Amino acid sequence: MRKPNAKPARPGHGGQGQLRIIGGEWRSRRFAFPDGPGLRPTPDRVRETLFNWLAPHVEGARVLDPFAGSGALFLEALSRGAEQALALDLNPDSVAALRGHLDVLRCGKGQLLQSDALRYLDTQAPSPFDLVFLDPPFNLGLLAPVCELLENRGWLAPRAWVYTESETPPSALGLPGNWRLHREKKAGQVYYALWQRSAETGHLPDA
């Protein structure tokens, strides 16, 4: 999770943050991740709520995390039985750290790429994912175009689940019309929501 209007990371701890996997095979394992401006893992209580919502749907799922950051959601999904997971991030230190975590865990089901999410989704040959985590940096207008690419370029399974974190209420996000809001909550300044796609062709409403 990236906090809106976040203060610069405080010095210390070697420029490292900490995350804890809260469920599944690697429950209670802790990992360091490189600090970055406004970056921190999705809080434990938010992840716990999200994965309670997703409990019947994670095992065996194909997972995409286009803005991996600390990798908290990516690792949590793999810990809970995701069959395959792809994470993207522009920060080479974040990608290297996550590769190291997968090596420590001896996990071969996760793939990590240093890549811009919008460019990747627009240019690569799509394969459908069952579960997508969307936690882009706030205040950059990334969420709607990423969702449009996911829907229109064939990246989503017919009944895919999509998780969003945003600085604005879910009702104001303007996401594809065939995505149905399943659950939503607010933690501090952050809105988080779970959507399910229907198999109809979706589109973004006109501005």
pLDDT digits (tens, 9 = 90+) for 28-76: 999 999 876 556 568 889 999 999 999 999 999 999 999 999 999 999 9
Nearest to 37 by CA among 12, 72, 7, 17: 7
pLDDT digits (tens, 9 = 90+) for 139-185: 889 999 999 999 999 999 999 999 999 999 999 999 999 999 999 99
Provide the pLDDT confidence category of residue 96 given band limits of 50, 70 and 90: very high
pLDDT digits (tens, 9 = 90+) for 126-135: 999 999 999 9
SS3 percent helix, strand, coil of the chain, rounded to 5, is 25, 30, 45
Nearest to 42 by CA among 61, 78, 68: 68
Q: How many whole angstroms separate alpha carbon 179 and alpha carbon 8?
A: 35
Rg of the Cα trace of the chain? 16
What is the pLDDT, as a whole number, of residue 207? 34
Mean pLDDT computed over 106-124: 97
